[in-house]
Amino acid sequence: MNIALVFPPLYGVDMPPLGIAYIASQLISDGHKVSVFCFNSQLYVERKDKQFLWDWENSGQWTSLEKINKNFNVPNLVEKWAEAVLERSPKIIGLSVNSHSRILANLLADTFKKKAKDACVIFGGPFCAEITEPEELNSNVDVYVRGEGEKIISRITGIIERGESIGDSTIEGTLVNTGAGFKDNGWDTNPLDINDIPLPALQLFDLGRYINKVEIPIIFSRGCNYSCAFCTDAPMWGRYRMRSADDILEEMAKHSRLFCRRRFKCSDLMVNGDLERLEQLADKMITGGDIFEWGGMARARIEMSQEFLCKMKKAGGIYFTYGIESGAARVLAHMGKPLKRHISQVLRRTHDSGIKVNTLWMAGYPAERWSDIIETMIFLFRNRKYIDEFVSVSSCYIPHKSRLWREQESLNIRYNNKSEWYIKGKNSPWVREVRKGMLFGLAKALGVYRGGIS
């Protein structure tokens, strides 16, 4: 079958999106003809005057149609994009959707159905995993896919190929449009065997359109075995599974040859969820002799000894990005993060092993008091020598389905008329901004903020 995969804005234009590359690859190996349309990078390249809208601080400009309309002629854009997709006469159109692309994705779905009512429109991606309200569902979408999409998309295409009704299907992990509403087929609770899925089809993307000219995206693992209170990534992905060393090395060699690059950027939730397998990978990298560079997000796990980290360095590890969030012991405990003294030790060991230490921070967590932000500033000051980059500080938000979201009542969290959360007399958007400013100001003064990284 002819299948079109679409990636609407907003997303990072750093590198090609891996999710849709994995879906494309699965479909190709199932024997389908796949066309990929990354309208996110296309719009970025076409509208140089609007590139500032892809800066982190402007991501809010994509969260309502009114705001997007201020910057673009949305009806024209959607029409043009829909024409380009429909020119290929796809039987299935899959869109990868996140919280910041859902508005344009919905408009595209409406246009696809108007112009080609027989095409099956499928939404996948992180937005679908967070849907809680029926109002969030669009009647012009035939199927919503929650969580990992490879196995599910194969099943959906099978149903369509056999001419069966998608509305009657019972595939776990989907919400299907019956014509009279949506039927919830629950979640697929069996995470994929990630050594069994084809390597992502990055060759379908024009790398020249993306701004990172050095790295190639990759993932070593999926999932996470922790449950930090503010996080919804872990529930979407299920338990931690690391790919086999051979599979990872095969992908590195293939993509390095294809793109003439030697550095890989891991998009894992954390690269160090399974230290034993990570060490096996490092051993293979070292004995293989052909060392690639790599880096990614990691948890500050005290089990990582100096020796272990030196081995990572020798195997090509060049940076670890730690989600530190806070330097206050009681906030860290409430979040479910490692102990404060353990974090300090891991920062020092990583730095001393020659791996660059990147850090991510969060201000205004519900349990955070003014004294905690001071404690965090002292922590930052004391550890400044081991922190190579203070990448960014976000202000705490409460995603649907996170533990914080479930505990809102007991935390006295309320919402104002702009849907912003607050705790009376303790925490508000203003308080969060001030705390964020304090931390950011200190990072700049200490010289650990160096412009951030993408």
Q: Based on the shown chain and the rule CB under 6 A, indicate whether residue 228 belongs to the binding site for ligand SF4.
A: yes
String marking each residue 254-273 x if it binds ligand SF4 according to CB under 6 A: ---------------xx---
- Toward ligand SF4, which CB reaches closer, 17 or 323? 323
- Toward ligand SF4, which CB reaches closer, 22 or 322? 322
Q: Based on the shown chain and the rule CB under 6 A, indicate whether residue 98 belongs to the binding site for ligand B12.
A: yes
Choices 92-100, 108-116, 158-166, 225-233 (CB under 6 A): range interacting with ligand SF4 = 225-233
- Number of chain positions touching ligand SF4 (CB under 6 A): 11
Cβ atoms within 10 Å of 356's Cβ, excluding its own: 17
CB 165 within 8 A of CB 144: no
- Number of chain positions touching ligand B12 (CB under 6 A): 39
Q: Based on the shown chain and the rule CB under 6 A, indicate whether residue 229 belongs to the binding site for ligand SF4.
A: no
From the list ligand SF4, ligand B12, none, pick the one residue 299 interacts with, judged by a Cβ distance below 5 to 8 Å according to partner type.
ligand SF4
Q: Where are the alpha helices (DSSP H) in 118-242?
A: 126-129, 150-161, 233-237
The correct pick among 38, 90, 100, 422 for binding ligand B12 (CB under 6 A) is 100
CB 80 within 8 A of CB 108: no
Which is nearest to 105 in space by CA: 155, 48, 40, 153? 40
- Toward ligand SF4, which CB reaches closer, 74 or 329? 329
CB 16 within 8 A of CB 214: no
Mention every residue, 6+ apart, whose C-beta is less than 8 A from residue 255. 202, 216, 218, 261, 264
Q: Based on the shown chain and the rule CB under 6 A, indicate whether residue 205 belongs to the binding site for ligand B12.
A: no
Minimum separation from the CB atom of position 82 to ligand B12 (A): 16
Spatial separation of the C-alpha atoms in residues 236 and 419, rounded to whole Å = 24
Spatial separation of the C-alpha atoms in residues 285 and 377, rounded to whole Å = 38
Minimum separation from the CB atom of position 236 to ligand B12 (A): 7
Angle at 294 (CA atoms; ends 387, 286), nearest 5 degrees: 110
Choices 142-150, 173-181, 219-227, 348-356 (CB under 6 A): range interacting with ligand SF4 = 219-227
From the list ligand B12, ligand SF4, none, pick the one residue 96 interacts with, judged by a Cβ distance below 5 to 8 Å according to partner type.
ligand B12
CB 321 within 8 A of CB 295: yes
String marking each residue 131-160 x if it binds ligand B12 according to CB under 6 A: --------------x--xxx--x-------
- Toward ligand SF4, which CB reaches closer, 178 or 227? 227
- Toward ligand SF4, which CB reaches closer, 255 or 299? 299
Q: Based on the shown chain and the rule CB under 6 A, indicate whether residue 439 belongs to the binding site for ligand SF4.
A: no
String marking each residue 8-47 x if it binds ligand B12 according to CB under 6 A: --xxxxxx-xxxx-xx------------------------
Spatial separation of the C-alpha atoms in residues 401 and 93, rounded to whole Å = 28
Residue 266 has φ and ψ, to the nearest 5°, of -80, 130
Site for ligand SF4 in 303-342 (CB under 6 A): 323
The correct pick among 130, 325, 372, 388 for binding ligand B12 (CB under 6 A) is 130
The correct pick among 151, 222, 255, 299 for binding ligand SF4 (CB under 6 A) is 299
Token pair 């595209």 in the structure block, residue = 108
Contact set with ligand SF4 (CB under 6 A): 224, 226-228, 231, 233-234, 269-270, 299, 323
